[in-house]
């Protein structure tokens, strides 16, 4: 495309957009405008090439003179007010500043720069160059090189979101690193059908961004990093999320994009009897094998956890933020960010979450039930714990009954030959029941005997109903009976349904 010497000419700002559109934009989904005036003052020599603001009062970055699309998104984010929050807090100290200003933090620059070396107010706030690095060379000649941002995150990295979003006051990286979202299942990331959920790069693209970042074309897969869930520029959804969490629509909810894979048996797959991230469908009453003839409609049994009573669905329980006050001193000790994605994490004596894979007693105070309380939810932590154990005891009991029956029907289990045989395309009643049993027990080996905790929280009513209906149909189909003897399973099912929504 034609390029104009950006530092030489002078035109009125109103003409800029028009000129930009006449020249055409360079990137597919971004408007870049050719600017024809000396739009930035040379940065101080000590700045190491960081440009910062063109007009601080208007939050207009030098970059934003050309990248007007990104500029108009970014200026509405919290990053654009970071300096004001720091000063407004009344507790600003010099060591706070480099995370609230343009500096070496967040980018590849290894020496101090920007605010750190100049204390010039053009570097106030978390601007483009925090993530993209110094832009002087690029602004002077956009074609020569581009400051591409990084998507990787980790405590051992001196770049990316994590360089600022860490520490006891906001340990996002610490918690995220301890969560399974920081892990990659290698063989799954490498396969095309699995990559949309198991390879960070593919997820970012799927969530609508074609933008360039350093790792975009790496063969090494990214995990579910910050920018998979968070848009680095736009605040279209709360907390800069790429998709909302304040919605009860499974189609649009962020978490359901991945946590919704094999939610019903698939006779055409060798893994067809194993649920695969079934949580979303379970929450809204659509997961599992619905025995033909059983009085359960798809989506009919949806408890309050999957209803408007819980407007953020997964996020209410799985992103539980809270601060822990140090009992000894009364001083602020720690801020849990919810980025362990654990709804009821084990906590130490002072209430600080102890990582993801911990296995403590289910009862509070060994675990915190903070996420279950407040608003229209459970009155207190003990009440939430009681409700969960009551549901899980019932579900575990029914799962055990069903297992007993299935062992009679097919002592061989899921091995080839017999009623339960994933390699045989003929779908049997026993296989449907087997799937429902696996759905009840899905996830969380960490809970040991309490392995039905997830399903008990997600949809205890549907889980009970499916197990009851499965027991009923297996007894009928195969003429078997377990130690309970004759039970009116239809009546049991109606009793479960009567409890929904109460
Ligand atoms: C003088 C106008 C101008 C300024 C100022 C400017 N850019 Fe650019 N930028 C461009 C143009 C034009 C391109 C496309 C370059 C190309 O591909 O040849 C570009 C490309 C980019 C790209 C790569 C986009 C891609 O598709 O890979 C990034 C990232 C970028 N700019 C960031 C910045 C940042 C950060 C700043 C501020 C430090 C900045 N730009 C300042 C004009 C500008
Ligand atoms: C390691 C980088 C880093 C340092 C050092 C740092 N901050 Fe922050 N600060 C952050 C990040 C990241 C956030 C955003 C956290 C969030 O949104 O939960 C933040 C948020 C804030 C907020 C806004 C909180 C709100 O209401 O949302 C204030 C105020 C603040 N910091 C003040 C300070 C003060 C005062 C200091 C020094 C005593 C300090 N920060 C040191 C990174 C830092
Ligand atoms: C230079 C330090 C720094 C870097 C790098 C940085 N942040 Fe922040 N971030 C902050 C600070 C400081 C705040 C708090 C701003 C405020 O509340 O005034 C913040 C706030 C946020 C918020 C809170 C928005 C809200 O509405 O609650 C989100 C989300 C966020 N950052 C995500 C990211 C992501 C994603 C990245 C990487 C792509 C990133 N940040 C990189 C310092 C940083
Ligand atoms: C919190 C970190 C962060 C901040 C602040 C930030 N960016 Fe980015 N930017 C990124 C990341 C990460 C990507 C690549 C991933 C994406 O956009 O989805 C990116 C992508 C881009 C691209 C590439 C677009 C394309 O189509 O390839 C441009 C241009 C860009 N940013 C410009 C800017 C400008 C201009 C600003 C300031 C107004 C800014 N960025 C602020 C992190 C950031
Ligand atoms: C799996 C998706 C996901 C990933 C990965 C993720 N987040 Fe978040 N984050 C969320 C959700 C959802 C919320 C909003 C929680 C809510 O509304 O209750 C959030 C909220 C935030 C907030 C705002 C918190 C506040 O109230 O101030 C910040 C800051 C943030 N995340 C930073 C990060 C950083 C940094 C990373 C990477 C280390 C990261 N996130 C990774 C989903 C994610
Ligand atoms: C881009 C896809 C993706 C998104 C979006 C996503 N996840 Fe995940 N999640 C995964 C993958 C993949 C794993 C398993 C990673 C592994 O085991 O290596 C996982 C694991 C988890 C786990 C741990 C499961 C266990 O083993 O106990 C929880 C809890 C979780 N996610 C909750 C959430 C919540 C809540 C959200 C929404 C805020 C969310 N996820 C959004 C892909 C995603
Ligand atoms: C729609 C998104 C999605 C797709 C597509 C997907 N998965 Fe998953 N997978 C997940 C989620 C989410 C989890 C986390 C498990 C959970 O929900 O508890 C997971 C978990 C796993 C695990 C267990 C990880 C662990 O740490 O225990 C393996 C293995 C796995 N997936 C392999 C695959 C393979 C192989 C494929 C492709 C054939 C695939 N996945 C396709 C979303 C998906
Ligand atoms: C009412 C609270 C609540 C809601 C809503 C909720 N969960 Fe859970 N979830 C739990 C509890 C409790 C566990 C079991 C304890 C644990 O894993 O830490 C769990 C377990 C999980 C697990 C581990 C595997 C499994 O299935 O047991 C994943 C993954 C998960 N939830 C994802 C989600 C997703 C995705 C959503 C939204 C579609 C969601 N959860 C909604 C409370 C909830």
> pLDDT of the chain along its 502 residues, tens only?
333 334 333 333 333 333 333 333 344 456 666 655 556 888 999 999 999 999 999 999 999 999 999 999 999 999 999 999 999 999 899 999 999 999 999 999 999 999 999 999 999 999 999 999 999 999 999 999 999 999 999 999 999 999 999 998 899 999 999 999 999 999 999 999 999 999 999 999 999 999 999 999 999 999 999 999 999 999 999 999 999 999 999 999 999 999 999 999 999 999 999 999 999 999 999 999 999 999 999 999 999 999 999 999 999 999 999 999 866 666 667 899 999 999 999 999 889 999 998 889 999 999 999 999 988 899 999 999 999 999 999 999 999 999 999 999 999 999 999 999 999 999 999 999 999 999 999 987 767 677 899 999 999 999 999 999 999 999 999 999 988 888 899 999 999 999 996 5
100 lines ligand 4 (CB under 6 A): no
243 lines ligand 5 (CB under 6 A): no
Predicted pLDDT at 17: 39
37 lines ligand 3 (CB under 6 A): no
pLDDT in tens, 446-473: 676 778 999 999 999 999 999 999 999 9
Q: Give me the sign of the Cα torsion angle 57, 62, 68, 70.
A: negative
Residue 248, number of CB atoms within 10 A of its CB: 17
Token couple for 436 = 């429902």
Name the closest-CA residue to atom 13, ligand 6: 181
How buried is 331 (Cβ within 10 angstroms: 0-12 exposed, 13-18 middle, 19+ buried)? exposed
| Ligand 6 atom nearest to 224, measured from its CA | 1
Name the closest-CA residue to atom 23, ligand 8: 443
Name the closest-CA residue to atom 31, ligand 3: 79
Cα separation, 456 vs 142, whole angstroms: 56
Cα separation, 498 vs 328, whole angstroms: 48
497 lines ligand 7 (CB under 6 A): no
210 lines ligand 1 (CB under 6 A): no
| Ligand 1 atom nearest to 50, measured from its CA | 38
Contact (Cβ atoms closer than 8 angstroms) between residue 282 and residue 455: yes
Peptide bond into 96 cis (omega under 30): no
Residue 73, number of CB atoms within 10 A of its CB: 18
Name the closest-CA residue to atom 36, ligand 3: 161
Please give the torsion angle defined by the CA atoms of residues 378, 381, 383 and 385, in that order, rounded to the nearest 10 degrees: 110
- The end-to-end CA distance of the chain, in Å, is 65
Name the closest-CA residue to atom 5, ligand 5: 226
Token couple for 404 = 């007993």
Q: Closest by alpha carbon to 154, among 173, 175, 181?
A: 173
**Any idea which ligand is nearest the CA of 318?**
6
Cα separation, 321 vs 338, whole angstroms: 5
Contact (Cβ atoms closer than 8 angstroms) between residue 162 and residue 174: no
Token couple for 330 = 């009364």
196 lines ligand 6 (CB under 6 A): no
Name the closest-CA residue to atom 12, ligand 1: 142
Token couple for 93 = 């100290």
196 lines ligand 7 (CB under 6 A): yes
Name the closest-CA residue to atom 24, ligand 8: 443
How far apart are the CA of 189 and the centre of ligand 7, in A? 9
Look at the block and give the residue holding tokens 């979101």. 161
Look at the block and give the residue holding tokens 């009991």. 397
Look at the block and give the residue holding tokens 């149909």. 473
Cα→Cα distances 218→215, 221, 402, Å: 5, 7, 47
Predicted pLDDT at 8: 32
Predicted pLDDT at 38: 57
Cα separation, 131 vs 155, whole angstroms: 16
Residue 308, number of CB atoms within 10 A of its CB: 7
Cα separation, 165 vs 358, whole angstroms: 24
Cα→Cα distances 429→223, 292, 315, 372, 489, Å: 38, 9, 35, 37, 17
Cα separation, 197 vs 21, whole angstroms: 36
Cα separation, 474 vs 334, whole angstroms: 52
280 lines ligand 8 (CB under 6 A): yes
Contact (Cβ atoms closer than 8 angstroms) between residue 364 and residue 381: yes
Cα separation, 467 vs 470, whole angstroms: 5
Phi, psi (degrees; rounded to nearest 5) at 336 = -75, 130
| Ligand 7 atom nearest to 454, measured from its CA | 18
147 lines ligand 1 (CB under 6 A): yes
Q: Closest by alpha carbon to 48, among 142, 129, 166?
A: 129
Cα separation, 386 vs 392, whole angstroms: 10
Residue 374, number of CB atoms within 10 A of its CB: 11
How buried is 317 (Cβ within 10 angstroms: 0-12 exposed, 13-18 middle, 19+ buried)? buried
Predicted pLDDT at 155: 96
126 lines ligand 3 (CB under 6 A): yes
Contact (Cβ atoms closer than 8 angstroms) between residue 29 and residue 42: no
């Amino acid at each position: 495309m034609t390029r104009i010497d950006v530092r030489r000419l002078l035109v009125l700002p109103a003409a800029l957009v028009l000129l930009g559109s006449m020249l055409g934009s360079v990137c597919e989904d971004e408007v870049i405008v050719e600017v024809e005036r000396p739009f930035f003052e040379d940065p101080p020599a000590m700045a190491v090439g960081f440009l910062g603001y063109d007009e601080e009062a208007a939050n207009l970055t030098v970059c934003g003179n050309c990248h007007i699309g990104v500029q108009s998104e970014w200026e509405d984010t919290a990053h654009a007010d970071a300096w004001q929050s720091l000063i407004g807090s009344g507790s600003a100290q010099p060591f706070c500043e480099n995370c609230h200003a343009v500096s070496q933090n967040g980018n590849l620059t290894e020496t101090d720069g920007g605010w750190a070396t100049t204390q010039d107010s053009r570097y106030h706030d978390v601007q483009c160059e925090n993530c993209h690095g110094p832009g002087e060379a690029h602004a002077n000649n956009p074609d020569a090189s581009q400051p591409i941002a990084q998507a990787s995150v980790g405590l051992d990295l001196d770049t990316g979101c994590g360089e600022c979003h860490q520490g006891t006051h906001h340990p996002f990286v610490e918690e995220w690193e301890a969560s399974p979202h920081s892990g990659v299942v290698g063989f799954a990331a490498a396969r095309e059908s699995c990559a949309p959920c198991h390879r960070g790069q593919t997820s970012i693209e799927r969530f609508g961004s074609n933008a360039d970042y350093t790792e975009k074309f790496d063969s090494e897969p990214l995990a579910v990093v910050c920018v998979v869930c968070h848009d680095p520029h736009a605040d279209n959804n709360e907390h800069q999320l790429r998709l909302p969490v304040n919605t009860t629509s499974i189609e649009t909810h962020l978490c359901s994009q991945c946590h919704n894979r094999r939610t019903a048996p698939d006779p055409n797959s060798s893994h067809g009897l194993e649920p695969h991230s079934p949580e979303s469908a379970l929450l809204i009453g659509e997961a599992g094998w619905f025995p033909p003839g059983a009085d359960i409609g798809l989506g009919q049994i949806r408890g309050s956890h999957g209803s408007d009573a819980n407007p953020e669905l997964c996020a209410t329980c799985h992103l539980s933020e809270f601060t822990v006050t140090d009992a000894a001193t009364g001083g602020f000790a720690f801020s849990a960010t919810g980025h362990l994605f654990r709804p009821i994490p084990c906590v130490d004596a002072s209430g600080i979450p102890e990582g993801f894979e911990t296995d403590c007693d289910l009862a509070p105070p060994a675990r915190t039930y903070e996420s279950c309380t407040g608003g229209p939810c459970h009155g207190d932590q003990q009440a939430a714990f009681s409700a969960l154990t009551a549901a899980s005891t019932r579900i575990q009991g029914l799962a055990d009954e069903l297992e007993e029956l299935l062992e009679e029907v097919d002592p061989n289990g899921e091995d080839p030959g017999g009623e339960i045989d994933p390699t045989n395309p003929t779908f049997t009643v026993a296989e449907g029941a087997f799937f429902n049993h696996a759905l009840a027990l899905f996830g969380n080996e960490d809970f040991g005997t309490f392995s039905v905790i997830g399903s008990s929280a997600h949809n205890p009513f549907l889980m009970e109903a499916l197990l009851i209906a499965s027991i009923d149909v297996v007894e009928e189909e195969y003429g078997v009976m377990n130690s309970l003897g004759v039970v009116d399973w239809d009546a049991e099912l109606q009793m479960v349904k009567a409890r929904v929504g109460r």
